[in-house]
Amino acid sequence: MMNTMKKVFMGAVALMMAASMSGCGNSGSGNSGTTTPEAGSTDTAGAVKIGLHYELTGEVADYGKAELNGSLLAIKQANAAAGSEKYGYVKYDDKSDPTEAVTLAAQLVNDGVAGVVGPATSGASAASYQILNDAKIPVLSPSATQNNVTLTNPDDASSAPYDYVYRVCFEDSYQGAAMAQYAYDTLGKTKAVIYGDSTTDYAKGLTEAFEKQFTKLGGTIVGKENYVSKDTDFSSVLTKIKGMDFDVLYIPGYYNEAGLIIKQAREMGLNQTVVGSDGFDSTTLVELGGATNLNDVYFTTAYTTVGASDKLQAFIDAYKAEYNEEPNMFAALAYDATNVLIQAMEEAGSTDGAAVQAALAKISFDGVTGSFTFDPTHTPIKPVLVVNLVDGVQTDAVAVTPKLD
């Protein structure tokens, strides 16, 4: 997590870099450079230009690609409803690197976008906020769940939010507490081991929230272990965990490592319940973990296709028709984030940043991940869903509202 001074410094550097590159043309070669829009970007004369900033390559490309798809579908549908190419876009790949995200934020300012959707991860999002906020460009973050990430000083919960930064997802402390409550109250678990990623603020925030809520309810944390992002062999730590007396394993982290941890744990005979976070929501989790190993596994999410409403089913059908695959949570969140931005522009009757920001502050939105308004920190007020996996397939979903202090 960056503090405000770091973000200001990095923002200044990025703006200078962007100025030096502003005369470069579009090579039209996709990922040939981080400050070149990917092939397929649209810049129709007179269209409102939306910046799509995602992780399209690198470690968390699954998230970024799904979110890009969700955003593009929202823009396509908005244009169809308008009967014209009212909304255009430029799209960029930060390569799952927060440093690249800073440079791209400056480039988006130079591009003159009316608003930005993305990135997918909290680190890349936080790195881009200062520059875009200073330029008075509204930002909608689909999945930046890190605690207090929308605040000007995330280390101080009493600090003011960025005026132009909003997110459509709940934050880590909320989903961590919800998972702890579900594990204790609904699953009847009382002895937990936490095995989390030591390299991300995402995992650290989830760990803290889960531990606090679980112990407050009467549970015990019998062990806490860590892995490092990009690890692939977890046998040593899992052997240690196997010797512990526990009934639930909490894995706060992303699908890359979580899938392998679950696979290796099951192969070692660790058959206890596994619970996790929204970072599990990727088809790659099943590919890495193996469908037969993904039983008695639960995770928190903002979206599921289980028991879909008519509105959600219409989105699912449209997404499948467009991309020939089921949408995941990240696609749905980006779809909602893009539609929130478009609705705010429509309600403002303007693309002026201040007018759009004023519309966002009072917006009431009905989307595929729920109906919500924004709280004073620009975070949506919405429930957490806990889904159950049976052979890797989501089969049940329960809304959980954690009982916080």
Rounded CA gap, 372 and 293, in Å?
Answer: 36
* Domains of the chain by residue range: 4-170+310-374, 173-301+385-400
Q: Is the peptide bond before 119 cis (omega within 30 degrees of 0)?
A: yes
What does the DSSP 8-state code read for residue 378?
A: S
- Please say whether the beta carbons of 195 and 249 come within 8 A: yes
- CATH number 3.40.50.2300 is the correct assignment for the domain at 4-170+310-374: yes
pTM of the model: 0.78
Rounded CA gap, 218 and 215, in Å?
Answer: 5
For the chain, the distance separating the N- and C-terminal CA atoms, rounded to the nearest angstrom, is 25
| Equal fold, 4-170+310-374 vs 173-301+385-400 | yes
What confidence score (pLDDT) does residue 22 get?
A: 28
Q: What phi, psi does 344 have (nearest 5°)?
A: -65, -40
- Please say whether the beta carbons of 139 and 166 come within 8 A: yes
Rounded CA gap, 154 and 100, in Å?
Answer: 21
What does the DSSP 8-state code read for residue 183?
A: I
Supply the DSSP string of 95-151, one letter for each residue: TT-HHHHHHHHHHHHHHT-SEEE--SSHHHHHHHHHHHHHTT--EEESS--STTTTB
In residues, how long is the chain?
405
In the block, tokens 């450079």 appear at 33
What confidence score (pLDDT) does residue 111 get?
A: 96
Question: What is the dotted CATH code of the domain comprising 173-301+385-400?
Answer: 3.40.50.2300
Amino acid code (one letter) for 151: L
For every one of its 405 residues, what pLDDT tens digit does the chain have, with 9 covering 90 and above? 333 333 333 343 333 333 333 233 322 223 333 444 453 466 666 799 999 999 999 999 999 999 999 999 999 999 999 999 999 999 999 999 999 999 999 999 999 999 999 999 999 999 999 999 999 999 999 999 888 999 999 999 999 999 999 999 999 889 999 999 999 999 999 999 999 999 888 899 999 999 999 999 999 999 999 999 899 999 999 999 999 999 999 999 999 999 999 999 999 999 999 999 999 988 899 999 999 999 999 999 988 888 888 999 999 999 999 999 999 999 999 999 999 999 999 999 999 999 999 999 999 999 999 999 999 999 998 889 999 999 999 999 999 988 887
